[in-house]
Structure 1
């Protein structure tokens, strides 16, 4: 049994849907394994919940090369910072903040070493977890320019939703 399935096996009866949704996502054939498992890894890191991160790392290690795994982790790290900053500039009543340079290092965005659409998809999924509408819009537009199918974008957000819910429920046990 995979580490993520073992993790979900600990879900209480009231969270059975999460276990079923994870199982469905793990077996879906709509996207490449590298993309799918990169999303699982990015989203696990995006939750910040160590037991889920450990399960995702175990499942993803044999399925992802080092560059893809590092890009997934990097997307989660940079979005943890950017989602807070850009959500603030978007929500603050003072529009001057949006015009100011961020003055935050974000080298990972340009040096991740994988196809741009993969990194953008990881970033979008983590941005969905973190609730940054400005970042979600930005990443979705880039993905559309790279002709990423809407069904893949939806699947990325479904993975984000399930991974976030698993971390939330497991954290209460």
Structure 2
């Protein structure tokens, strides 16, 4: 169950993805809550049922229930905000950026876990969703909180590996 099941189920062409999962999630220097919250938030964002179920099952053994809920909240709030802020950025018209977003984001103020962990999860999900505005914002908050580039890179590596595993599983399901 968990990472081992994901890795074992990957097709041969995705062997590098399995090795990367092992070297990121399996051997991460991050603290367990940052690590498993990131993996879970990214699995939600990646949207593959197998990857999500397996990571959620393993994450639940490392995270308290409030962190599980906060990681899922980070993924879902970023699903909304990443679309909005990426779109206003890509439109390139300052008029859109000056309008209030009017998106409900109360969870950001009180996520139920340390703010730095929630920001970390939001950064990783924003990488999956490709929102430059949100990436810059969350990275700035994390750097201000004392995290260095190496820690932030770990979150990005987890996002990349989880997303790649989801892509491989989706491809195989579509081709079956």
* TM-score (structure 2 length as normaliser): 0.94
Which blocks of at least 5 consecutive residues in structure 1 are unaligned? none
Alignment partner, residue 55 of structure 2: 56
CA shift digits 1:39-97 (9 cap, x unpaired): 11010011122221111111011110011111110000000000000001111132100
Measure the CA separation in 2 of the matches of 1:46 and 1:125.
9
* Alpha-carbon distance in 2 for matches of 1:45, 1:56: 9
What aligned pairs does 1:6-155 form with structure 2 within 5 A after superposition? Answer: 6-155=5-154
Check whether the contact 2:38–2:158 (CA below 8 A) recurs between aligned residues.
yes
Task: Judge which range, 87-96 or 152-161, deviates more.
Answer: 87-96
In structure 2, the partner of 1:156 is 155
Q: How many angstroms apart in 2 are the aligned matches of 1:47 and 1:23?
A: 18
Shift of 1:26: 2.8
Gaps of 5+ in 2: none
Question: How many angstroms apart in 2 are the aligned matches of 1:67 and 1:114?
Answer: 7
- Tell me which residue corresponds to 2:171: 172
Q: Larger deviation: 7-16 or 155-164?
A: 7-16
Give the 4+ runs in structure 1 shifted more than 6 A.
Answer: none
Distance 1:142 1:3 in 2: 31
Root-mean-square deviation over aligned CA pairs = 1.0
CA distance in structure 2 between the partners assigned to 1:46 and 1:16 by the alignment? 22
How many residue pairs align between the two structures?
A: 172
Q: Distance in 2 between matches of 1:32 and 1:10?
A: 27
Question: Distance between the aligned counterparts of 1:28 and 1:149, measured in 2?
Answer: 18
Normalization by structure 1: what TM-score? 0.96
SS at match of 1:105: coil
